[in-house]
Amino acid sequence: MSLYLGIESSCDETATAIYDADRGLLCHRIHSQIELHACYGGVVPELAARDHCLKIIPLIDDVIQAAQLPSIASLSGIAYTRGPGLIGALLVGATVARSLGFALQIPTLGIHHLEAHLMAVMLEAQRPEFPFLALLVSGGHTQLLRVDGLGHYQLLGETLDDAVGEAFDKVAKWMGLPYPGGRVIEQYAKQGNAARFTGRWAFPRPMTDRPGLDFSFSGLKTHTIQCYQTIEQEPTAIADIACAFQEAVMDTLYIKCKRALKQTGLSRLVIVGGVGANQQLRMRLTELMSICKEGQLFYPRSEFCTDNAAMVAYLGCMRMGRGERDDALAIKPLARWELS
Ligand code: KG4
Ligand code: ZN
């Protein structure tokens, strides 16, 4: 048996998982710090790191038990998120993983958080074959990538400023909604009327009127906030703004995905990252793939769109199975780390 422990601690979720090379994912746990940070309207890095320290060992014990391993010594390897992310938060996962690896005399491997998000779709029974186009939309990143295989990624376009999730969170904050804002905006948008905004207040679809696959969401965010300020006294203000903002984001992602599919000739599209949990996004891209020749859409279940350790354990299993390991004893998390 080849059993891998996965540890994720890059931001505000402490997560652990056990992945078996033969039987697949055995179990996973996620502790979210949302309540801890809620009153600050965003993640406080120092509090995040301290909370990871409190939760990480109990969560490791928990998955070892849930997977019915006789002991932690049954593990073949440990994968942990090395970066990118909050440095203090990353340091907790990296230190625990490397110390455990040293004590148990088993290999460890630092995993790239975005690569783990990309591969989260492989945890599903409905998984794509390579190559595919990936839309990675999270709180920190917005990218379009061509994926030809494990470790073979070509960046086709990315955001020049705010990530999609970040724009959702900032717009929500301005409207007095709780953090993280993505899911809350999605709920409000269901009752909203986007069509009321016309003329000067029509919501832009940024960078869709020029060629290329890059994105920009900070102008749309500012437009949304200014528009909200003009109508905030109205009872339907939040719902209407949420609806118009979400529609503008989804239209933009739709147009860029369509363009990328045409440019690459790919017929499989994968949505990953926290914003991938958005039902409206899934609906729009299902529409898009239905008009593409042999188009197929794939996405992980919602709990594997947002941060989790199942994706880290899976990728650890794949990479350590090929003989990859951390080399020196040093513990070196990376707050910034390009996927390429
Ligand atoms: O991937 P993730 O858990 O963390 C990062 O690596 O960034 O993504 C979190 C982001 C947050 O910005 C959150 O607001 C957004 O994903 N998000 C959503 C939804 N669920 C989470 N955005 C839109 N609609 C959702 N349903
Ligand atoms: Zn993430």
- Reported as a single tens digit per residue, the pLDDT across 62-83 is 999 999 999 999 999 999 999 9
Q: How close is the Cα of 46 to the center of ligand 2, in Å?
A: 18
Tell me how far apart the alpha carbons of residues 60 and 82 are, in angstroms, rounded to a whole number.
17
pLDDT-based confidence at residue 227 (cuts at 50, 70, 90) = very high
**If you average pLDDT over residues 19-28, what whole number do you get?**
98
The residue written with tokens 């369509």 in the block is: 258
**If you average pLDDT over residues 284-307, what whole number do you get?**
97
Residue 328, pLDDT score: 78
Cα pseudo-dihedral 302, 297, 315, 304, rounded to 10: 0
* Strand 3-8 to 77-83 pairing: parallel
DSSP element (H, E) containing 136: strand 132-137
pLDDT-based confidence at residue 41 (cuts at 50, 70, 90) = confident
pTM > 0.85: yes or no: yes
pLDDT-based confidence at residue 307 (cuts at 50, 70, 90) = very high
pLDDT-based confidence at residue 43 (cuts at 50, 70, 90) = very high
Distance of CA 20 to the CA centre of its chain: 23
Q: Which residue has the higher pLDDT, 142 or 42?
A: 142
Residue 50, pLDDT score: 98
Q: Measured from the CB, is residue 182 less than 6 Å from ligand 1?
A: yes
Contact 81, 97 (CB under 8 A): no
- Number of the ligand closest to the Cα of 276: 1
Mean pLDDT of the chain: 97
Q: How close is the Cα of 139 to the center of ligand 2, in Å?
A: 7
